[in-house]
Chain A
Amino acid sequence: MAKRKSATDRSYDVVIGALALLAITILLLPVLIVLATSFTTSQSLKFPPPSLSTQWYEALFDPVRSRHIHLAAWNSLIVAGSATLFAAIGAVLAALSISKVNSTSARSLEAGFLSPLILPTLAYGLATLMFFTLLGQRPSLLLLTIGHLVVIAPFIFRTSLASLTQLDPALLEGSLSLGASRFYTFRRITLPIIAPGIIAGAFIAFVASLDNVPVSLFLSNARTDMLPIRMWGMMESTLDVRIAAVSGVMIGAVLLAMIVFDRLVGLTKRISG
């Protein structure tokens, strides 16, 4: 920056900087309120908290008082984890299948793969339950996981597709013409380039599954209690502070995971470049 900034460049700095600052405020403010609320001493969700304590985290981790939350959280993590894993495999393959094609069939396939995102999950859950009852199936963990998979796969599909459009075809042609197999080319060239897109999509998909109420409502049974449903009940009838503490735990866990992975493999570097 040797040369002096012109007036238009300064206006760029001001406008972009101010908008970005507002963006950070919008992202951050509600989260700070949730965190502050989770450390309250009051008996119900209330902002501002009269004074601070960790009592609600203690209550949340108490194996007796919060046993059902733990069970529900465990179920939700299992469902979200397996649904995300299988959705990622299917969605990346599906994105590869149309990434280099500009025909009408590819466009309709793209719309088809995105459509579960748009159908209200309430209608989807209801229709899926009816459909499987017609086939003589009861709600089960398997059905629930597949239901989640369908609803979250579009996130990974869409972000992978966006990353694939940046892939230089010459790279792939070079690799293939040198005799490399398609799988080898995928693993060594395509995958590293689209990894940030896959990770971004998989992360959104995972938390979308964790937070999904309607599909869980219709496709789970009494033995597979799910976390978001439990949290709804706690919010609506008792303003239970533990639901804020759950968010605190999630944030802490992800922060910790980011630091650890950063040390180990530089994951954030791979997401953020």
Chain B
Amino acid sequence: MPAAKAVSRSPSKLDRPEWSLAAPLGGIYLCFFAAPLLLLLWISFYEDNELTRMGFGSWRKFLGDPFYVEVVWKTLRLGLTAVVATSLFAYPLALIFYESGDRIRRILLFIVILPLLTSVVVRTFAWIVILAREGVINQTLLALGLTSAPLSLLQTELGLVIALMQIEMPLMLLPLLAVMQRIDPTLVEASTALGASRWRTLFRVMLPLSLPGWVAGATLVFASATTAFISQSVIGGGRLVYLPTVIWQQAMVIFNWPAAAVASVMLLASVLTGIMALGAIGRWISRE
């Protein structure tokens, strides 16, 4: 009997969540997140700034205006670009980390968390210094004779993605490194011993095994890039409009809370869709 009892308690055999474990955080979320969110949804069904007339007017205005639909699309595209760009640079760094000894790992870990230690306020200033017309990049390019006129990097999507990458990389690397360190080095050695090239080992061994860490990191990167109001508005500038800017203007300057609520719910819904898609891709690949 003890064996049967043990199996029935086995955590690998669950087919539904253990609600009692989810309850503490779930309870806090119901009172302090779901309730305000419902209020926000409720506000989105008002049609006027004074919150007197109910109807679908705010939704119709938002969804009927190609400008705002494009803003939603651009915001999602920014999130996606940030995930791709961050992965492209973060993964190689994670691989180097995996292959390094303790000392180098310690130094790399410190470098990875450095951006988190500088407040967004001063970080954006540093990026102005780097990307500006007379900034570090342009000075370097001009000195090397690689360009004759200063490039405009500030207030472009390229500049914004570079600046976002700095703060997104720790968000991707920390979960990735946490997962990678559990990968058994003998698997990698076995692959090489069997004559696989390092590229093949990367794609057949490292990537599949570290996928959960990448999915976690990509989720955080996507969410953070799409909602990074300060970086978007300061580095991106007024010529690149994303949803957080629209929400800020509607809520704080124009005072049109229904419109701000519509934009917030749109952002929440579309980004959540993106994140669930990331999760589905992760599960699909790991099943392959």
Contact = CB atoms under 8 A, between A and B. Distances in A.
The short answer to whether A and B are in direct contact, CB under 8 Å, is yes
Nearest to B25: A90
Instruction: Name the prevailing secondary structure of the A interface residues.
Output: helix
A196 B213 CA distance: 12
5 nearest CB pairs, A to B: A273-B181, A90-B25, A169-B12, A97-B21, A162-B216
B110 A113 contact: no
A97 B20 CA distance: 8
Contacts of B18: 96-98
Contact of B106 (A11, A161, A213, A258): A258
B174 interface: yes
A78 interface: no
A165 B216 CA distance: 11
A247 B32 contact: no
B241 to A, nearest CB: 14
B177 A272 contact: yes
A243 B119 contact: yes
B54 interface: no
Interface string B1-28: 0110011011111111111111011101
A173 B12 contact: yes
Chain B interface main SS type: helix
B272 A204 contact: no
Given A11-B199, A134-B39, A172-B12, 5 more contacts: A19-B89, A31-B126, A33-B130, A153-B28, A244-B125
Interface in A2-54: 6, 8-9, 11-13, 15-17, 19-20, 22-24, 26-31, 33-34, 37, 45, 47
A91 B89 CA distance: 29
B182 interface: yes
A112 interface: yes
Interface in A228-273: 228, 231-232, 235, 243-244, 246-247, 250-251, 254-255, 258, 262, 268-269, 271-273
A158 B175 contact: yes
B158 interface: no
Contact of B109 (A20, A121, A268): A268
Contact of A201 (B7, B106, B175, B177): B175
